[in-house]
Amino acid sequence: MAIVFDGTRESYVEGLSEFLNSGQKDAPEWVTTLRREAISGFAKLGFPTLSDEEWRFTNLEALRRGSFSIAENGISGVSKKSVDSYGFSGLDCLRLVFVNGRFASSLSDTKDAGEGILVKSLSEAISEQSDLVKGHLARYADYEKDAFISLNTSYFEDGVFVYVPDGTVLEKPVHVLHVSTDEDRPLFINPRNLIVIGQSSVAKVIEHYVSASQSVYFSNVVTEVVCGENANLEHYRLEFESQKAFNFSTLRVNQQKNSNIASHSILCGGAIVRNNVHPVLAGEGCNSDIYGLFISEGRQHMDNFMRVEHASPHCDSRQFYNGVLDGRSKGVFHGRILVHEGAEKTDAKQTNRNLLLSDTAQIDTKPQLEIYNDDVKCTHGATIGQMDEEALFYLRSRGISMRQAKIIMLRAFTGETLEHMSIDPVREVLEGVVMKWFEKRLQNGKGR
Amino acid sequence: MLEVKNLHVQVDDKEILKGMNITVAPGEVHSIMGPNGSGKSTLAQVLAGKEAYEVTEGEVTFQGKDLLDLEPEERACEGIFLAFQYPVEIPGVANTYLLREALNAKREYWDEKPLKHIEFAKLAREKMKTLGIDEDLLKRSVNAGFSGGEKKRNEIFQMQILEPTLAVLDETDSGLDIDALKIVANGVNSMRDSGRSFIVITHYQRLLNYIVPDFVHVMVDGKIVRSGGKELAYELEEKGYAGF
Ligand SMILES: Nc1ncnc2c1ncn2[C@@H]1O[C@H](COP(=O)(O)OP(=O)(O)O)[C@@H](O)[C@H]1O
Ligand SMILES: [Mg+2]
């Protein structure tokens, strides 16, 4: 029988024992214990409400009213061909495919990762590299403070596990494709990813969420990243869920001394989307570059929640987030920078620029600096506006059509964030997707 | 080529052009001079098709067509070019990209094949040399962070690439040192021919030493109050606008 969550806190709490009995019988003891601890976290927290400071702009009423269940079917219904269509042409990469949260090994290709490198499904790693996984899993993403992390930690089934030992370069990018399919009931899917990059090692990981249908589901992602001393990670989160889906995701990064991360979040799908990006610059001399682009239409709601935590001296962080909003969609940019007491010589910068294509689109942008130290440089800036009329006229006065002028302006605006992607085939595909989106908007006669 | 008849224009219910008349024949260079706020830029922008300016009376014909009926991009493709008094900065759009798009839009309008990348690059390089423009200016975003002089030179560069039939230069000389002024003037003079006309809007007689006009018009309070030959510029230099 399916495990059904009727939206109440109790149903999510009580569902766990059935979940443990059905699919998780062979799980190691420590994982079961972890799940139990996590659900007691959720039992205390429940879903956040508007009175919660960090959720002021995002109403979860629809999620609380919804009924969701854990997927019962296997990975059928997704073909190799359709998976290929989500690929990045010209990109030589490793690929892991998950369907409704479960690993589809027949659609995946993880050969030739390199000496000592592990790129596999997390559930496999839990049984085969139990100690290694145990040392990191749920050590960073706090299931006692965040309800969605609690739920994910309780109910996750699978996701990617990437382990790059010290002094190693993972040559090929890892493409992690999560596909959701049309099911009888709205699904509750909890992808869980763990990425561990050793000292002076390098990796690129692309998390990609797509939907083969336009159905309702509740996708709740948690990714934990450990970036060892002097390591370098480029991470992508490409969110193209169904327009009716609920998508919550957390990227929790732990950065050790002199490590670098570049994080790219592209949000495009989903009815209600919340993307948490939470790097902790734990060691000295770290660098975090956080880029984001969200494009919304209709009644989409996209909440971008940044929490950049400077915990050590001499670290730099940069946030560049751009939003394009059309229709009656709503955007939120919450940019929190937290500088701890000992984090001298912090240099943190945040920029959020928003372009409204309609009179009814709306954006709430809110910087939040929390600084417990005098010796820091923190700057933030936000803009909200329509397309620059003067620039449009200038382009038209050179013979360029109104439509083309708008496309040029939009491309420039979205390019501000996309141009920082180092994997060209990914950037090119995204530019294409964004272009198509614009063209559709301009065809409807909208988008001034 | 261009005929402006009794043109009245207002912005926000304020009348700025109050019965403007000017006729420009092919090959002619006209200069419009006048004090600040007399409406020179308004005329220029109206010719280019800026929508914020409302034409309440009068007509403008360009090569037999009703200009006011055309969209800004159609006017450009028909051969009108405006060198802006304040060129607009467009971050994220490369100068070369804008130019190629513009040139190819115009070619498409006239059923010509678009220029290939290399063909365009060659053309751009030629024009740049004569204007003393750095190659690197091509790659930079349109006018973004350009000095005043660079912006003005860039306008002339665009004009050279687009080869308009009628070019309106709105105070392209202001803010230029004498060397830059000569370069700009050369850029204009090298394009003068029997089929191409210019309207040179300026504040100072200085420019007209280098671009010698066929006609000079004095504009005050939204109207041409006097027209004459190039000697009118000298008279203005001596007496100022007070007498008009
Ligand atoms: N967009 C506008 N909105 C309101 N007033 C304007 C606008 N553009 C021009 N004006 C006014 O029109 C008059 C003429 O301006 P302009 O054409 O720029 O003069 P010029 O170029 O001769 O200095 C000025 O009084 C100016 O303030
Ligand atoms: Mg002016």
Provide the residue ranges of all domains of chain B, joining segments of one domain with +: 2-239
Query: For residues B57 and B17, is the Cβ–Cβ distance under 8 A?
Result: no
pLDDT at A444: 60
Question: For residue B96, which residues of chain A lie inside 8 Å, CB to CB?
Answer: none
For residue A275, what pLDDT band results from cuts at 50, 70 and 90? very high
For residue A184, how many other CB atoms are within 10 A of its CB?
Answer: 10
Q: Determine the pLDDT at residue B177.
A: 87
Task: Give the ligand with the smallest distance to the CA of B85.
Answer: 2
Is B12 touching ligand 1 by the criterion CB < 6 Å?
Answer: yes
pLDDT confidence of A447, banded at 50, 70, 90?
very low
Put simply, the answer to whether B82 touches A408 (Cβ < 8 Å) is no
Q: How far apart are alpha carbons A346 and B179 in whole angstroms? A: 47
pLDDT of A448 above 70: no
pLDDT at A328: 97
Instruction: Say which CATH topology domain B2-239 has.
Output: Rossmann fold (3.40.50)
Tell me how far the alpha carbon of residue A448 lies from the centroid of ligand 1, in angstroms. 25
Distance CA(A396)–CA(A406), nearest Å, equals: 10
How far, CA to CA in Å, does A142 sit from each of A38, A149, A160, A251?
A: 9, 7, 19, 12
Give the tens place of pLDDT for each residue, B151-165. Answer: 999 999 999 999 999
The CA-based diameter of chain B, rounded to the nearest angstrom, is 55
User: Poorest-confidence range of A178-187, A241-250, A318-327?
Assistant: A178-187
B92 contacts on A by Cβ (under 8 Å): 411-413, 415-416
What mean pLDDT, rounded, does chain B reach? 93
Distance CA A360, CA B107 (A): 38
- Between A and B, how many residue pairs show a Cβ–Cβ distance under 8 A? 80
Q: List % helix, strand, coil for chain B (3-state, nearest 5).
A: 40, 30, 30
Beta-strand relationship, B65-66 and B54-62: antiparallel
User: What average pLDDT score do residues B13-28 get?
Assistant: 96
Q: Are A125 and A161 in contact (CB under 8 A)?
A: yes
Residues B7-22 have a mean pLDDT of: 95
Q: Which of A396, A401, A408 sits opposite B93 (nearest CB)?
A: A408
- The Cα B44–Cα B81 span in angstroms is 10
Nearest to B73 among A388, A402, A411 (CB): A402
In B, what residues contact A, Cβ < 8 A?
Answer: 48-51, 71-73, 75-77, 81-82, 84, 87-93, 97-99, 101-103, 105-106, 109, 141-142, 158, 162
Contact at CB, B72 and A416, closer than 8 angstroms? no
Q: Looking at beta carbons, which residues of chain A come within 8 Å of B51?
A: 393
Q: Which ligand is nearest to the CA of B220?
A: 1
pLDDT > 70: percent of chain A: 98
How far apart CA A281 and CA A65 sit, in angstroms, is: 38
The C-alpha atoms of residue B81 and residue B77 are separated, in whole angstroms, by 9
| Stretch A381-400: mean pLDDT | 95
Beta strand extents in chain B (DSSP E only):
2-11, 14-24, 29-33, 54-62, 65-66, 80-83, 90-94, 141-142, 166-170, 197-202, 215-220, 223-228
Q: Report whether pLDDT(B35) > 70.
A: yes
Contact between B90 and A412 using a beta-carbon 8 Å cutoff: yes
Q: Whose CA is nearest to atom 13 of ligand 1?
A: B37
Minimum-distance CB partner of A412 among B92, B101, B158: B92
Residue A184 is encoded by which pair of tokens?
């009888």
Is the pLDDT assigned to residue A445 strictly greater than 70?
no
Please check whether residue A201 is in contact with residue A171, taking contact to mean a CB–CB distance below 8 angstroms. Answer: no
Structure tokens, B78: 């028909």
Contact A99, A133 (CB under 8 A): no
Give the pLDDT confidence score for residue A1 in this predicted structure: 62
Q: Are A293 and A265 in contact (CB under 8 A)?
A: yes
Of the partner residues B88, B109, B141, the one whose CB lies closest to the CB of residue A394: B88
Question: Which residues, in sequence order, are CB contacts of B216 under 8 Å at separation 6+?
Answer: B30, B31, B33, B208, B227, B228, B229, B230, B232, B233, B236
How far apart are alpha carbons A222 and A159 in whole angstroms? 9
Ligand 1 in reach of B52 Cβ (< 6 A):
yes
Kindly list the residues from chain A whose CB atom is less than 8 angstroms away from the CB atom of residue B140. Answer: none
Is residue A418 within 8 A of residue A431, CB to CB? The reply is yes
Contacts of residue A377, Cβ cutoff 8 Å, sequence gap at least 6: A346, A347, A348
Looking at residue A2, its pLDDT comes to: 80
Q: What is the pLDDT of residue A446?
A: 42
Residue percentage of chain A with pLDDT more than 90: 91
The structure's pTM equals 0.89
> Chain A: nearest CA to B17, how far in angstroms?
21
Residue A415, min C-alpha distance to chain B (Å): 7
Q: Decide if the complex's ipTM is over 0.95.
A: yes
B134 or A293: which leads in pLDDT: A293
Cα(B220) to centroid(ligand 1), Å: 12
- Percent of chain B residues past pLDDT 90, beyond the cut: 74
Comparing A21 with B130, the larger pLDDT belongs to A21
Minimum distance, in Å, between the CA of residue B90 and any CA atom of chain A:
6
In this structure, the dihedral spanned by the alpha carbons of residues A386, A390, A391 and A396, taken in order and rounded to 10 degrees, is 120
Average pLDDT of the residues in B67-92: 96
Is the pLDDT assigned to residue A160 strictly greater than 80?
yes
Q: Mean of the pLDDT values across residues A48-59? A: 95
In this predicted model, what pLDDT tens digit does every residue of A303-359 receive, in sequence order? 999 999 999 999 999 999 999 999 999 999 999 999 999 999 999 999 999 999 999
Number of the ligand closest to the Cα of B51: 1
- Cβ-defined contact of A398 to B48 (cutoff 8 Å): no
Q: What is the pLDDT of residue B175?
A: 83
Residue B33 Cβ < 6 Å to ligand 1: no
What is the per-residue pLDDT for A424? Answer: 96
In this prediction, residue A415 carries a pLDDT of 92
